[in-house]
Amino acid sequence: MQHFFEPIQHDIEHILDDLDQHGFAIVRQAHSEKFTTQLLDECLSNLNQFREAAIQNGVISKIRSDHILWIDEKFPIAQQHIHLLQEFSQAFNRAFFLGIQSIEAHFACYNTGEFYALHRDNPQQKNDRMISAVYYLHPEWQSDWGGQLRLQDKNDQWHTIEPEPNRLVIFQSDLLHEVLSSKHQRLSITAWLRSGNSIWSSE
């Protein structure tokens, strides 16, 4: 796939090291400034299509209250983000033999008071999600706005991670985590790097 934007050089060795030692890694500046602006635009101009994440097949759950929109080829800027995650996946496969072969992703919007209670993205290896990757799109975040990601690492240590703009948090999908109630509109892309399904089904 073609790069539309100047790609950022990432310290992939550092990411692999953190994933290996702690089960998670934080990338502080995932994309160029120009890219973040365009991705935010793409997200905001489609906000009217977001749906309540808690409703799946007509069943309502109380575990989360955010709104989501699945990413497909109609979102060319978000596809570039998925392209970066594909490059990371190849490094993860080489380092950890994860067999990642597809990516699914959605935009998420948490409005004031919205949250996602404690959960795992892949409880008891029930699905083929190997790695979760959450990227924050909002242009600004202040620590008293809530909305932190709380994550238990692979050594059972808890971490409170601020959803800083342009930050990408990568973690094993079997780890326990939650999103604390947000006091401002919180915009993100959650992606799952999966070991099953068709090759790079998100392309």
Q: Which residues bind ligand OGA (CB under 6 A)?
A: 108, 116, 121, 134, 149, 163, 177, 179, 188, 190
Helices (H), 26-161: 33-44, 76-96
Residues 6+ away with beta carbon under 8 Å from 9:
none
- Nearest-angstrom CA–CA distance, 133 and 146: 20
CB-closest chain residue to Mn ion? 121
Shortest reach from residue 134's CB to ligand OGA, in Å: 4
Nearer to Mn ion by C-beta: 27 or 169?
169
Residue type, 54: A
Nearer to ligand OGA by C-beta: 88 or 107?
107
| Tokens (6 digits) for 96 | 């950890």
- Residue 146, binding choice from ligand OGA, Mn ion, none, Cβ under 5 to 8 Å by partner class: none
Shortest reach from residue 68's CB to ligand OGA, in Å: 8
Q: Is 153 in the site for Mn ion (CB under 5 A)?
A: no
Question: Which residue in the set 121, 182, 189, 193 belongs to the binding site for Mn ion (CB under 5 A)?
Answer: 121
Tell me the chain's radius of gyration from C-alpha atoms.
16
Shortest reach from residue 97's CB to ligand OGA, in Å: 24
The count of chain residues that interact with Mn ion, using the rule CB under 5 A, is 1
- DSSP E strands, the chain: 24-27, 51-52, 55-56, 59-60, 67-70, 102-110, 116-119, 129-136, 149-152, 158-161, 168-172, 177-179, 186-194
- Residue 134, binding choice from ligand OGA, Mn ion, none, Cβ under 5 to 8 Å by partner class: ligand OGA
Applying CB under 5 A, which residues contact Mn ion?
Answer: 121
